[in-house]
Amino acid sequence: MKNIAVIGSGTMGNGIAHSFAQHGYTVTLIDIAEDALKKALSTIDKNLSRQVEKGSITEDVKKQTLANITTHTDLKTGVSNVDLVVEAATENTELKLKIFQDLDAATAPHTILATNTSSISITKIASVTKRTDKVIGMHFMNPVPIMKLVEVIRGYNTSDDVTQTIMKLSRSLEKIPVEVNDYPGFIANRILMPMINEAIYSLYEGVAGVEEIDSVMKLGMAHPMGPLQLADFIGLDVCLSILNVLYEGFGNPKYAPCPLLVNMVQAGHKGAKSGSGFYTYVQGSKDLKVSKRFEKQEA
């Protein structure tokens, strides 16, 4: 298994492509927008340069990594001769189902189809294909080149052989794969999102401010990042989408998204990617400032 296709060139897609290419795989990065692909290659170049500066890779490794990546805007052409496809498109169920229908028709019978979804049912995604035994979840963590975990999610019909192949493949990327079963939110987000939601509720109900909530979790629980900052980093729209999947999947009110989160997303405050969430984000600045809406009023 040496030829890999990655669908989607956003934050997760370009990180996944970067990781495979750096470890010697031939990668086809696919997106419908040429500009998005150019931006992705620029991001990969910058991230590789940062690794060179830190001494974690050599300049030759950087050059070879970039040489291992080609780009396509046509899905059918891009996946015609690959052993594995990793889909990393927007976290939208209907979009993913359409992509997997197209992948099933365009790829060779032996090709494994993986999704980087953080919450959508692998079994549901597999159901639109004729190879349900070869559909699996590969949930990478952001930033992909740095984070070690890969959540490997088995759909109801995913075969043992395919699961073990993906576990082995993940290790070849110097990742640590963890096998889980296909239930809403899997493990990572089933535990993480209720914590983030409860942190937002605590802010919404006036229990404490943004910095105070994050400081308690960082200093008291040894979390490297507070839950509100982490929510901004993930994307508040993504957090809302995952919470809705959990709420609909289990029918349990404990997963209901906080009204504050719903309002923020509807107002366009989606976290770091939009420049504003619980904190404000200025390009090039490393200073973290609480958004004006959540600033404490001086007495």
Catalogue the active-site residues: 118, 139, 151, 189
d(CA 295, CA 132): 50
User: In angstroms, rounded to a whole number, what is the distance separating the alpha carbons of residues 28 and 111?
Assistant: 14
The one-letter code for the residue type at 120 is I
E strand or H helix at 137? strand 135-140
Distances (CA, A) of 297 to 104, 216, 256, 288: 56, 21, 29, 18
C-alpha–C-alpha distance, residues 259 and 244, integer Å: 12
